[in-house]
Structure 1
Amino acid sequence: MKTEIYNTLYKYIDEDGNQGEDLREVQLMENFSKERINKLIDLTSNEDQYISYKAMLILISWGIDKGFQKLDEFIDNKLDMVTEFEPHRIYGEDNVYDVISDALYISTYNTENEEKILPYIHQMLKMYGNNFFESRLKHVLLKMNLTKTSIDEIKSAVKASISNKRYYQASQLLPVLAKYDKESLNKYIDEFNNLSKLDKRINYNLEEVQEYI
C-alpha cells in the first residue's frame, strides 16, 4: 500500500496533538479536511476493493453522502461474495456487515440523524440470518430509537438465524427485544433456554436480558 494511501486511511492526530495510526480512530474524528474527504472519495474507486472498502467506511462514519452511495453499490453488487473484507480472528467468517453497522452508527455523531441510517440497519437485519455478525449490530440497536418496523425486522432476523442454526447469533437480539418489546420476549425465553444446551454462549445473552426487565 502506497504511503499516501496508508496515511489517508489510518493517520490521525488526537486532541492532545499526538499522532497515531488506527482506522477506527480516523472514523471517530470530529474534524476532517475537505482535502482528506476528496482523497477518500477518490480511494473508493481504487482497483483494490479492500482499499475502496476502508475509504467507504470512513466516509460513512463521517456522514459523507459518497460513503452511503458506495455502500448502496457494495450491497447491490454483493461485493462480500467476491472478497472477504473482515475475516473473524476466531470463526473465520466475514464480519463485514457488522463492521459496517458500527460505521453507520458512528455517522450519527456527526449528523445527529438516525433516520438516515435506519433503512440501512433494516437491510443489515434482513441479512442477519445468512451472514455472520459478531456483536456490533446488537450494540448499535441497543443505542438507537427503534420503530415498530425495526422490531418486526429484529423478530424476522431471530427466526432466520435459528433456521440457519446460528443460535448464538439469534440470541444476541434478545437483549434488544427485552429493551424495546418486553411483551414479545417471553415466547423466546423458553426456546433459547433449550437452545443454550447446544451453545452455552447463549446464556450470556439470557443473562443480559435481565438488565432490561
Structure 2
Amino acid sequence: MDEEIERLLYTTKDGTWYWETDYAADKLELDDEDIDFDRIPEIRKLLTKPVASLPELYVPLEAALVLTSWGDEEGLKYLEYVVDLRPDRWGNGEPHRLRCYDTTYEWVATAVMLFRGVHHDRFGKDVMRKRVFPILSLLLKYCEKLQFEFPLHLFIRNEAFEYDSSLKSYLRAMLADKSDFHHHKPGDAVKFFLKYDPVFLETALKEANKNLSDYSSYINEREY
C-alpha cells in the first residue's frame, strides 16, 4: 500500500496517524471529530470488484473496514461482498500477532458493530439493527468453525436477544471444543452468557459435562 492511500485511511483530519493519537488503539477507533468525512468519495474508489486473491483484496478490504466503522453504507456493502467471497479459504490475510490465525472476520465483525453504534450515537436510536443482522448472524456461524474471535463485548444484553438462537448455537459449539482450537473463546462465551442468559448457560454446561469452575480463570481475568 502506498503512503498516499495509508494517509487517506489511517490519519485524522489534521494528518495525525491514528496510532499517534492518545486514544485510538487501531484504525477503527477514531472519534467523529477526528474523521475527515470529506475523504469518503476518494476512499470509496478503492472498493474494487471483482477480487479473487488475498493480494487483490488487501487495499479494498482496508478501505471498507474504515468506511464501515465511520458509518458508511458503501463500506458495509463491500464487507458483505467480502464475507460472501469466503477469503478464509484463500489463505491467511490478517494473521493474529501472537497466534497467527486469520483475523479478517474479526475486523469485519468489529467494523459492522461500530457501524451500528455510530448510527445510534448520531441519531439517538438504533436505526441499523435490522440492517446488520444478516452479516453478524453469518459471522457468528463462521466463528463456530474458525479461530477468529467475535466481539461479544460490543453486544449489550437487550440487543443480543435478536441473535439469541445464533448465540446459543455459538456457546454450544465453544463448549464442545476439546482440543483448545478456540483457545479462550469458550471462556469468553461463558462469561458473556453469565450476564446474558445464565439459565441457558447452566443447561448448556450440563449438556457438555462441564462446570462453571472450568472457566474461572477466564471469568476472573478477561474483563467484559
- TM-score, normalization: structure 2? 0.75
Structure 2 contact 174–189 (Cα < 8 Å) conserved: no
The superposition leaves residues 75-121 of structure 1 with CA deviations (integer Å, 9 ceiling, x where unpaired) of: 11112322423211221111221222211122234211351323322
Structure 1: tracts of 5 or more residues without a match: 197-201
The residue that corresponds to 1:130 in the other structure is 145
The equivalences for 1:18-37 within 5 A come to 19-22=16-19, 24-25=26-27, 27-31=29-33, 32-33=35-36, 35-37=38-40
> Partners of 2:158 and 2:75 in 1: how far apart?
21
Query: Aligned-pair distance for 1:30?
Result: 0.9
Cα separation, 2, equivalents of 1:164 and 1:52: 34
Aligned counterparts of 2:85 and 2:94: Cα–Cα separation in 1: 17
The superposition leaves residues 28-86 of structure 1 with CA deviations (integer Å, 9 ceiling, x where unpaired) of: 34154454111111112187311111101011111111111111111111123224232
Using the TM superposition, give the Cα deviation of residue 133 of structure 1 relative to its aligned residue in structure 2, in angstroms.
Answer: 2.5
Shift of 1:160: 2.6
CA contact (8 A) 2:69 2:111 kept: yes
- Contact preservation (8 Å) 1:11, 1:26: no
Q: How does 1:49-88 map to 2 (within 5 A)?
A: 49-88=57-96
The total of aligned residue pairs comes to 201
Whether 2:170 is the aligned partner of 1:170: answer: no
Q: CA deviation at 1:125?
A: 1.1
Q: Following the alignment from structure 2 to structure 1, what is the Cα–Cα distance between the partners of residues 59 and 157?
A: 29
Match of 1:101 in 2: 109
Cα distance in structure 1, aligned partners of 2:95 and 2:183? 20
Q: 1:120 aligns with which of 125, 129, 135?
A: 135
Root-mean-square deviation (CA, aligned residues, Å) is: 3.1
Unaligned runs of 5+ in 2: 121-125
- The reply on whether 1:193 has 2:211 as its aligned counterpart is yes
Hey, what's the Cα distance between the residues in 1 that align with 2:73 and 2:5?
A: 21
Residue type of the alignment partner of 1:179: K
Superposition deviation, residue 163 in structure 1: 4.3
TM-score by length of 1: 0.78
Q: Say whether the 8 Å CA contact 2:106–2:148 is kept in structure 1.
A: yes
- 1:199 aligned residue: none
Equivalent pair of 2:27/2:66 in contact (CA under 8 Å): no
Query: Is 1:43 aligned to residue 43 of structure 2?
Result: no
Contact 1:129–1:164 (CA<8 Å) still a contact in 2? no
Aligned to 1:182: 198
